[in-house]
Amino acid sequence: MSAASAAGNANDAVASRRRPAAPLVPGNWLGMLGGGQLGRMFCMAAQSLGYRVCVLDPGADSPAGSIAERHLRADYLDEAALAELAESCAAVTTEFENVPARALQRLSERTIVAPSAGSVAIAQDRIAEKDFVRAAGLPTVPYRPLRTFDEARDAPESLFPGIVKVARLGYDGKGQVGVANAEEACCAFVDLGSVPCVLERRLALDSELSVLLARGFDGTSRAWDVAGNVHREGILARTTFPARVDASLARRAVDATRRIADALDYVGVLCVEFFVLADATLLVNEIAPRPHNSGHATIDACMTSQFEQQARALAGLPFGDTRLLAPAVMLNLLGDAWFDDDTNAMREPDWSAVLRHPGAKLHLYGKREARRARKMGHVTVLGASAGEADSVADAIERSLGIGARGR
């Protein structure tokens, strides 16, 4: 998809968007496409505001479906289920970007949907996403679409060493291969299924940041402090909140996020991930049209969490204050923590060792089976200072045996 067609899709969705004539009062039903942990935390926030939530998800025991007032167990494109969701809910949102954009478009014909199908469609495709960001006047890593084997074979030397990533359905480091030259890019293209991919130049990074921003139907927006992220084996492992970066760099990141949100005429919570180079160059990496793992600290560390803000945006309510109440560090809890590294035997992590720290807040997602690399929960550590939060987070990582893996 070209930048022009991506922008056109977004504008078409904007033109046909339904909006609440007045804020939806508590007691109304809100819909959620997707039953994972992000949906679960949305349910909790929406329910605390007095709304009822209906989740559409094919899973039998999904984290969100298990606590929502109603769970429609069906495929995301099931026409009867979509009709029932639209009929029963005053407004609908999504918890992950890989839900079919067509489902959102069908729902938008009958009820309020945010974010729009056009916004989600752009974020679902790395090629369309990068084209859109460039069209908005913001820099990305150097890249080239690889739609055919010949495009991989003819990739310019300037893009190596690089990374070949599938254009669609890749996440958490899945669906990507590091390559040193065009020959390896060809092999990677074939290994990844000969589906559309993007080749990105691998750059030496100084740090990785993300910005979460909520934008309403009226165009008003609120951003949280910039988050600093550490990934291990392609999966977010640790977020420092706020990021330890220069104030001018933080402002540039927030301004770029707001520019993207305005270009999409986005409604809801949006996350934009950035690469930072040694000379403070800021590059847009990815757009996530939803609350994000790197924003989980907002639940405990901010006046208003990303999930409450998502509910407010969907209902057309005024936004809450995003101010930080205390420095925080968020630790992602993967299923690896449930396995003994020496024997590979499963055991329950020592939660007492985590919670003996008064500033530690444990969030488990209700998933019945722990698997390696599966997101099972997170811990947020609050400190009187950034140093204190870092120190306690380090101690918790050691107690769970997760700190050294993949650093």
Taking 90 as the threshold, does the pLDDT of residue 382 lie above it? yes
| Tens digits of residue pLDDT in 132-188 | 999 999 999 999 999 999 999 999 999 999 999 999 987 766 799 999 999 999 999
Per-residue tokens: 152: 């991989």
Integer distance in angstroms from the first to the last C-alpha of the chain?
Answer: 36
Spatial distance between the Cα atoms of 92 and 276, rounded to a whole number of angstroms: 35
162, 280: one domain: no
Taking 80 as the threshold, does the pLDDT of residue 337 lie above it? Answer: yes
Under 8 Å between Cβ of 287 and 277: no
Tokens 């039953």, residue? 35
- Which residues make Cβ contacts (< 8 Å) with residue 73, sequence separation at least 6? 57, 58, 59, 60, 65
Angle in degrees, 0-180, between the axes of helices 247-264 and 126-135, rounded to the nearest 10 = 110
Residue 389 token pair: 């939060």
Same domain as 386, residue 240: yes
Question: Which residue from 25, 40, 18, 37 is spatially nearest to 107, judged by alpha carbons?
Answer: 18
Q: What is the pLDDT of residues 83-102, one digit of tens each?
A: 999 999 999 999 988 899 99
Q: What is the pTM of this model?
A: 0.94
In a domain, 237, yes or no: yes
Is 244 among the domain residues?
yes
Tell me what the mean pLDDT of segment 304-312 comes to.
98
Residue 190 lies in a domain: yes
Distance of CA 263 to the CA centre of its chain: 19
Give the residue from 113, 134, 168 where a domain finishes. 113
340 contacts 327 by C-beta, under 8 angstroms? no
**E strand or H helix that includes residue 229:** strand 227-232
Q: Specify whether 392 is located in the same domain as 289.
A: yes
* Residue 8: band (very low, low, confident or very high) from pLDDT cuts 50, 70, 90: very low
| Measured CA distances, 343 to 140, 347, 397 (Å) | 43, 11, 20
The residue from 92, 113, 134 where one domain ends is 113
pLDDT for 17: 66
Same-domain pairing of 290 and 359: yes
What pLDDT is attached to residue 19?
87
Tell me the CATH number at 185: 3.30.1490.20
Same domain, 362 and 336: yes
Q: Return the pLDDT at 97.
A: 86
Do residues 57 and 64 touch, judged by C-beta distance below 8 A? Answer: yes
Q: For the domain that residue 54 is a member of, what is the CATH number?
A: 3.40.50.20
Residue 380 located in a structural domain? yes
Contact (CB, 8 A) for 92 and 30: yes
Total domain count, the chain: 3
Q: What b/e sequence results for 147-173 when a residue is b if at least 16 CB atoms lie within 10 Å of its CB, and e otherwise?
A: eeeebbeebeeebbebbbbbbeebeee
pLDDT of residue 6: 44
pLDDT at 306 over 70: yes
The verdict on residue 371 lying in a domain is yes
Claim to verify: residue 25 and residue 97 sit in the same structural domain: yes
311 domain-assigned: yes
Task: Provide the pLDDT confidence category of residue 341 given band limits of 50, 70 and 90.
Answer: confident
- pLDDT of 20 reads 87
- Interval 223-268: pLDDT, tens: 999 999 999 988 999 999 999 999 999 999 999 999 999 999 999 9
* Residue 67, domain extent: 18-113
- Same domain? For 153 and 215 the reply is no
**Strand order in 91-94's β-sheet?**
70-72, 52-56, 29-33, 91-94, 112-113
Across residues 60-70, what is the average pLDDT? Answer: 96
User: Could you tell me if 338 and 215 lie in one domain?
Assistant: yes
Same domain, 289 and 226: yes
Check which CATH number belongs to the domain holding 299 and give it. 3.30.470.20
Note whether 259 and 309 are same-domain residues: yes
Based on the domain organization, do 100 and 236 belong to the same domain?
no
| Residue 398 CA to its chain's centroid (Å) | 27
How far is 221 from 270, CA to CA, in rounded Å? 10
From the list 329, 221, 328, 209, the residue with the least C-alpha distance to 275 is 209
Q: What is the pLDDT of residue 174?
A: 79
Can you spell out the DSSP letters for 59-118? Answer: -SS-TTTTTSSEEE-S-TT-HHHHHHHHHH-SEEEESSTTS-HHHHHHHHTTSEESS-HH
The reply to whether 92 falls in a domain is yes
Summary mean pLDDT of the chain: 94
Give the long-range contacts of residues 101-105, CB within 8 A, separation 24 or more: 102/77, 103/33, 103/76, 103/77, 104/33, 105/13
171 and 34 in a common domain: no
Res. 405 pLDDT band, cuts 50 70 90: very low
Share of the chain above pLDDT 70, in %: 94
Percent of the chain past pLDDT 90, that is, above it, reads 89
Q: What is the pLDDT of residue 4?
A: 41
pLDDT surpasses 70 at 404: no
136 found inside a domain: no
Given a cut of 50, whether residue 12 has pLDDT beyond it is no
Q: In this predicted structure, what is the pLDDT of residue 173?
A: 67
Of the residues 178, 201, 224, the one at which a domain ends: 201
Residue 31 has pLDDT above 50, yes or no: yes
Give the residue-averaged pLDDT of 340-366: 95
